[in-house]
């Protein structure tokens, strides 16, 4: 009996590693197929020798897919603004086909059109909205002090770059501005609000759900915020429900 | 002991199931047609895998394919036998004017008992008619080239049109490799302008090297195809490859596209020996006014490099000297 069992156990053991190794790609493939079968998502995929190229390729195709889908849904002509927002929700699944890398990137349709949709792309949260409202009321009663701040801030001079940032009115203009700053080698870094650096001067372009820029802010190293349009101190809590893109310009670009 | 045997039987049955590819097609409104498409793709891929495993020819007689599709499959199999390693596929069907198109069918090119120097992974595209029968089959262009066009700035050109252009560029390429005379007859417009070139090496009587001379020849469709088909008949194999692509949309004629390709061309004699080889730029002026029947109005070839000074060293021609859409006027009629 023992003699008979040993070859069988050896056979079983030889089969086990193959099935275990196949587990992870199989799970990935299963998840990909689940998303493909759902009508809730837009997706794209590529299979290439280079993993990074496969991923960037899939993202590029997904951007075009979103653009085409927006056109088919007649969701407005400003697809670029929505694609920038949608990219924050791109989710990749990476697996392999032989020696090739398969990159699958998907996004939930609800995350593409933020207008009128639940949490959407809200990145600025106001956990104490009642308290803030009370503060605003209190400040409004201290007219003299507010006036003195206005006089002080009016003396601040903006650089030409800051004036250009202050002139941005639509979210769709942000991508072009970022690219222009990059091309001119003036941009240190940029990102979405949740990755806002703690240190250094940053510029915040706060946008609402309709794709309008709600505020153009300058955040100083000490955390204070200057509204580049009103030249007044501002507070991020004033923009509940909005999203924001931050930019840091290269040092020495202060004119 | 019985438990062990039971486990082995279970494993064997799982392994048998894995040989059968499960295909799910989405976005088809008629469930009967959807089922027919799924069944056809499944049978086709299962047959490819079985033929690969057995080292035999592909047998699609039970698929009831149209003659053109059978021929495409045979030529594809002859050049590069393929298989599908995925066990479950979810494929989106795109609506076309004649039925549906199913893209992204993953294939691995696996020559039977031979070396394969080209890329292994390809994707196939199947066109179905309104009844769910396969109308045509072709491979998509290399993913690297695909990405060059997807990431380029083709104003107002949607993903579907880009895919269509690239599909036809790939079909044009494979038509040379497959010596598909019918496709080439069909794709060139009757009044097509074709410019071919050759590099002539020059020396003085004293043997001093002079700059190479490029001689261009202007031809019509018939003259070019007669010459090309003679080359097909006199050679064992032709291999055309593209490794760079640039697509430009005509600024005013939105259905006209200029496609510039860096092409490698090789011919092999009937005994398999290497014959002729050249590298150059091919420019194609495509007319997609009728998407079901696009036409090529212009095809030009230029060498990518030649001895421009007489030094004996070949140098690449500047990019601005490569023929492009801007070099051709399109008449309105």
Please give the full DSSP string across chain A, using - where no structure is assigned. -HHHHHHHHHHHHHHHHHHHHTHHHHHHHHHHHHHHH-TTEEEEEEEESSHHHHHHHHHHHHHHHHHHHHHHHT--S-HHHHHHHHHTT-EEEEEEETTEEEEEEEEEGGGT--TT-SSTT-----TTHHHHHHHHHHHHT-HHHHHHHHHHHHTPPPPHHHHHHHT--BTHHHHHHHHHHHHTT-EEEEEEGGG--SSS-EEEEEE-TTSBEEEEEEE-TTS-EEETTT-SEE-GGGGTT-EEEEEEEPTTTT-
Max Cα-Cα span within chain B: 91
Asked if the Cβ–Cβ distance from A98 to B11 is below 8 Å, we say no
- Percent of chain A clearing pLDDT 90 (strictly above): 22
Q: Find chain A residues with C-beta within 8 A of B90's C-beta.
A: 32-33, 36-37
Please give the full DSSP string across A85-117, using - where no structure is assigned. HHHTT-EEEEEEETTEEEEEEEEEGGGT--TT-
* pLDDT on residue A175: 75
Using CB atoms within 10 A of its CB, is residue B329 exposed (0-12), middle (13-18) or buried (19+)?
A: exposed
Q: Find chain A residues with C-beta within 8 A of B85's C-beta.
A: 97-98
* pLDDT on residue B115: 56
Cα gap A208→B66, rounded to integer Å: 56
Please write the tens of the pLDDT for every residue from B76-120: 888 778 999 999 999 999 988 889 999 999 999 887 655 555 668
Tokens of B22: 């499960």
Confidence of residue A16 (pLDDT cuts 50, 70, 90): very low
Please give the full DSSP string across B19-67, using - where no structure is assigned. TSPEEEEES-S-HHHHHHHHHHHHHHHHHHHHHHHHT-----GGGT--H
Does A59 touch chain B if contact means CB atoms closer than 8 Å? no
Does ipTM exceed 0.90? Answer: no
Could you tell me if B140 and B103 are in contact, meaning their C-beta atoms sit under 8 angstroms apart? Answer: yes
Q: What residue segments make up the domains of chain A, in order of their start?
A: 2-111, 129-249
Confidence of residue A133 (pLDDT cuts 50, 70, 90): very low
Lowest mean pLDDT among A36-50, A203-217, B18-32: A203-217
Residue B224: φ, ψ to 5°: -65, -45
| Average of per-residue pLDDT values in chain A | 72
Q: What residue segments make up the domains of chain B, in order of their start?
A: 19-139, 192-327
B76 Cβ partners below 8 Å, 6+ apart?
A: B82, B137, B139, B178
Closest CA to A158 of A224, A212, A203, A223: A203
CATH 3.10.450.50 at B192-327, yes or no: yes
Residues on B contacting A at a C-beta cutoff of 8 Å: 1, 4-5, 7-8, 11, 24, 26, 85-90, 92, 104, 106, 108, 119-121, 123, 143-144, 146-147, 150-151, 158-160, 162
For residue B24, give the chain A residue with the closest CA: A37
Highest mean pLDDT among A41-55, A76-90, A205-219: A41-55
The alpha carbon of residue B78 and the mean position of all alpha carbons in its chain are separated, in whole angstroms, by 15
Q: How far is B151 from chain A (nearest CA, A)?
A: 7
Could you tell me if B126 and B41 are in contact, meaning their C-beta atoms sit under 8 angstroms apart? Answer: yes
Confidence of residue B302 (pLDDT cuts 50, 70, 90): very high
Please tell me which of the candidates B5, B26, B150 has its beta carbon nearest to residue A61.
B150
């Amino acid at each position: 009996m023992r003699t008979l069992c040993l070859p069988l156990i050896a056979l079983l053991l030889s089969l086990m590693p193959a099935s275990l190794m196949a587990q992870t790609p199989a799970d990935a493939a299963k998840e990909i197929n689940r998303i493909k079968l759902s009508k809730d998502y837009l997706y794209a995929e590529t299979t290439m020798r280079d993993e990074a190229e496969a991923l960037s390729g899939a993202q590029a195709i997904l951007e075009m897919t979103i653009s085409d889908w927006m056109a088919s849904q007649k969701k407005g002509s400003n697809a670029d603004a929505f694609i920038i927002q949608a990219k924050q929700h791109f989710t990749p699944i990476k697996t392999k086909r032989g020696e090739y890398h398969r990159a699958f990137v998907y996004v939930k349709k609800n995350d593409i059109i933020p207008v009128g949709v639940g949490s959407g792309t809200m990145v600025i949260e106001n956990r104490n909205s009642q308290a803030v409202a009370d503060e605003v009321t209190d400040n409004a009663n201290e007219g003299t002090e507010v006036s003195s701040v206005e006089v002080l801030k009016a003396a601040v001079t903006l650089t030409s770059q800051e004036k250009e940032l202050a002139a941005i009115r639509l979210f769709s203009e942000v991508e072009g501005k970022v690219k222009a700053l990059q091309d001119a080698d003036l941009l240190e870094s940029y990102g979405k609000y949740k990755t806002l650096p703690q240190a250094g001067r940053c510029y915040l372009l706060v946008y609402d759900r309709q794709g309008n820029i709600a505020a153009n802010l300058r955040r100083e190293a000490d955390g204070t915020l200057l509204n580049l349009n009103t030249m007044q101190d501002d507070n991020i809590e004033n923009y509940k429900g909005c999203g924001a893109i931050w930019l840091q310009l290269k040092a020495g670009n202060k004119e | 002991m019985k438990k062990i045997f039971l486990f082995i039987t279970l494993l064997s049955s799982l392994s048998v199931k894995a040989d059968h590819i499960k295909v799910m097609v989405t976005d088809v409104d008629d469930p009967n047609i959807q089922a027919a498409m799924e069944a056809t793709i499944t049978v086709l891929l299962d047959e490819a895998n079985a033929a690969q495993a057995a080292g035999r020819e592909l047998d699609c007689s039970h698929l009831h394919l149209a003659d053109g599709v059978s021929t495409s499959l045979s030529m594809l199999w002859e050049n590069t036998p393929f298989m599908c390693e995925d066990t479950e596929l979810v494929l989106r069907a795109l609506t076309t004017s004649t039925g549906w198109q199913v893209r992204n069918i993953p294939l691995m090119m696996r020559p039977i008992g031979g070396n394969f120097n080209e890329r292994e992974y390809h994707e196939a595209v199947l066109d179905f008619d309104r009844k769910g029968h396969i109308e045509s089959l072709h491979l998509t262009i290399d993913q690297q080239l695909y990405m060059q066009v997807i990431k380029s700035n083709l104003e107002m050109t949607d993903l579907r049109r880009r895919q269509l252009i690239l599909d036809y560029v790939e079909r044009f390429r494979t038509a040379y490799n497959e010596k598909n005379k019918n496709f080439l007859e069909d794709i060139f417009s009757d009044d097509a302008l074709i410019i071919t070139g050759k590099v002539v090496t020059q020396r003085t009587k004293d043997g001093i090297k002079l700059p190479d001379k490029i001689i261009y020849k202007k031809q019509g469709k018939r003259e070019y195809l007669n010459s090309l088909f003679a080359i097909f008949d006199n050679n064992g194999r032709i291999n055309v490859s593209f490794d760079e692509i640039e697509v430009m949309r005509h600024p005013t004629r939105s259905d006209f596209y200029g496609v510039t390709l860096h092409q490698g061309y090789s011919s092999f004699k009937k005994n398999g020996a290497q014959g002729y080889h050249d590298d150059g730029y091919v420019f194609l002026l495509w007319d997609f006014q009728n998407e079901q029947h696009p036409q090529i109005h212009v095809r030009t070839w230029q060498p990518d490099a030649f001895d421009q000074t007489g030094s004996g060293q070949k140098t690449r021609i500047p990019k601005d000297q490569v023929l492009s859409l801007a070099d051709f006027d399109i008449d309105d009629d």
